[in-house]
Amino acid sequence: MYEDKVLVCKDCGNEFVWTAGEQAFYAERGLQNAPARCRDCRQARKANRPDAGAPRQMYDIVCSNCGKQDQVSFQPRGDAPVYCRECFAAMRAQRG
């Protein structure tokens, strides 16, 4: 179904192969655009992000459902309920 394609990296200008397997992987996940960068340039770009390898800021919360103390990766605004991992997962499972 898919055939290997030769693409040109928009950063370094080198050609790279977008394999049939990679194309199938993209299609399974609904990704419609071909990669614009070769593997080396993608990895270099990820490594140069300001937050690369930095520990994530965590915030202490008290679950609005069960009262358990937990931590979340976003700063709660105070005007909306915040749930612990277990309650959030249970609510998500109920939705579908």
* Tens digit of each residue's pLDDT (9 = 90 or more) over 68-84: 999 999 999 989 999 99
- Specify if 52 maps to a domain: no
Are 11 and 41 in the same domain? Answer: yes
Beta-sheet pairing, 59-62 with 69-72: antiparallel
Are 43 and 10 in the same domain? Answer: yes
Are 17 and 42 in the same domain? Answer: yes
Cα(first)–Cα(last) distance of the chain, in Å? 33
Domain residues for 29? 5-47
> Of the given ranges (21-25, 48-52, 67-71), which has the lowest mean pLDDT?
48-52
The answer to whether the predicted template modeling score (pTM) of the entire model surpasses 0.85 is no
Number of domains in the chain: 2
Are 43 and 63 in the same domain? Answer: no
